[in-house]
Structures are given as C-alpha cells and as structure tokens.
Chain A
Amino acid sequence: AQSVTQLGSHVSVSEGALVLLRCNYSSSVPPYLFWYVQYPNQGLQLLLKYTTGATLVKGINGFEAEFKKSETSFHLTKPSAHMSDAAEYFCAVSDSGGYQKVTFGIGTKLQVIP
C-alpha cells in the first residue's frame, strides 16, 4: 500500500521568502513521486516529478524537490516566493511497477503575504 503525508494544510510565507512544503511517503516498491499545483478554480497541473535518476528534481516556476529515500521525503522548495505562487499544492505517489494507482496527499494551501 502507498500513502502520502503532507505536513501543514496551510502555510503562509512573505513575498521573497523561502517556500518549503513538506511531503513524506510510504510505498512498498520504489516510488514515483509528484507535486501538483492547483490554482483557484482550475484543475491540477504537474509541477514536477521524480521517477529515477537524479534525486534533485527541478520543475516549473522555479520550484524544485529532493527525493530522500532514507527519510522517505519529497519536500518542495522555492528560494523566493512570488504572489503568483499562492495556490494549493498536492504531493502524490505512484506505484513504479507500471500500475496507474496514484495516491494524493490532502494538499497544502500556500498563502503569500505582500
């Protein structure tokens, strides 16, 4: 069974400050890991993904995440928050065996304070 835990359903940062959204996963097989972003009144869109290879993954809009197997973590970071980053962010895990079961976390709403 696979699962995802996102720590903090709401996170507030000042504009220009570091963004850190936490995600821990549980998986019985090597996982594929994802971060999705949902802007208000829109569907989810892929921000970045880890499948195999390099553990530091870069995504769109300056976000990146690091896969740490020893800590079963996949935290999302951005050095400097912009107002446009205000959205809800979902961490997700997928079975790397080819089966399409994708399990999502409960989401973290990011507020950016001017």
Chain B
Amino acid sequence: EAQVTQNPRYLITVTGKKLTVTCSQNMNHEYMSWYRQDPGLGLRQIYYSMNVEVTDKGDVPEGYKVSRKEKRNFPLILESPSPNQTSLYFCASSFRRSTGELFFGEGSRLTVL
C-alpha cells in the first residue's frame, strides 16, 4: 500500500530535549516536505527536499533541521524544542515533476512543555 509513515504520532516532551520525527514514503517520490499546522494559520512549510542530499528552507524553518540521506526518508529534527513548536506536523511527498499533488502522512502531534 502506498503511504507516508510518520513516527511518533504523539509526543510530549520538555523544553530543550532534542527530538526527531521520522518520515518514510514507499512511493519512490523525489520530493518530500514538512509542514506544521496551527489553528488559524493553516499549513506552513518548514523544509522541503527535491531529492537526496538536496534540501531547502520553507516559510518557517527556524528551530528545525532536516536531512535527506536516502530517497525514502526525511526526518525532522528539533535540536532544542521550545513551547512555540507545539504543533501538529505533517510530512508529505510527491513526484518532482508532478502537478503538485501531495501525499500526506497522518500527522505527529507534538507538545513541548
């Protein structure tokens, strides 16, 4: 089954404790992206990757890191989480030369205390 898998789905952590949210897709997509969803703000792009070893900032990259060492995986790293990073995070992927249709994971709800 074609899917984007995120882990963990739910996480409560404390300020400053490094964490990683993993994202994996099995559709051989070149393009992968991370979004955060906040009430009243919709989805905002954090980082994206056009292919292996190619990443770039989205609209709200501060406080986040990403890496793309393999085509299927695109982890999101919070080196020192802060309460303003409490949010619902989505990973998405697509073929690079597509019309922009994205396939989304089920989301990771992160709470930073």
Interface residues in B, total, Cβ within 8 A: 26
When C-beta atoms are compared, the residue in chain A nearest to B90 turns out to be A43
Q: Let me know if B84 is at the binding interface, CB within 8 A.
A: no
> Most chain-A Cβ atoms within 10 A of its Cβ — which of B41, B96, B98, B101?
B101
Within 8 A of A (CB), among B1-54: 4, 31, 33, 35, 40-45, 48, 50
Within 8 A of B (CB), among A1-45: 9, 32, 34, 36, 41-45
B81 partner residues in chain A, CB cutoff 8 A: none
CA distance A43 to B107 in the complex (A): 6
A102 partner residues in chain B, CB cutoff 8 A: 33, 45, 100, 102
Contact between A100 and B94, CB atoms less than 8 A apart: yes
Given contacts A43-B107, A44-B90, A100-B94, contact A34 B101 (CB under 8 A): yes
List 18 interface pairs A-B (beta carbons < 8 Å), by A numbering: A9-B40, A36-B102, A43-B107, A44-B92, A44-B102, A49-B99, A49-B100, A51-B99, A90-B42, A90-B43, A92-B100, A94-B99, A96-B99, A100-B33, A100-B48, A104-B35, A105-B42, A106-B41
Known: A42-B107, A44-B90. 20 other contacts (CB 8 A): A9-B40, A34-B101, A42-B106, A43-B105, A43-B106, A46-B101, A49-B100, A90-B43, A94-B99, A95-B100, A98-B97, A100-B31, A100-B94, A100-B98, A100-B100, A102-B33, A102-B102, A104-B42, A104-B44, A107-B42
Interface residues, chain B, with chain A CB atoms under 8 Å away: 4, 31, 33, 35, 40-45, 48, 50, 90, 92, 94, 96-102, 104-107
Interface residues, chain A, with chain B CB atoms under 8 Å away: 9, 32, 34, 36, 41-46, 49, 51, 90, 92, 94-96, 98, 100-102, 104-107
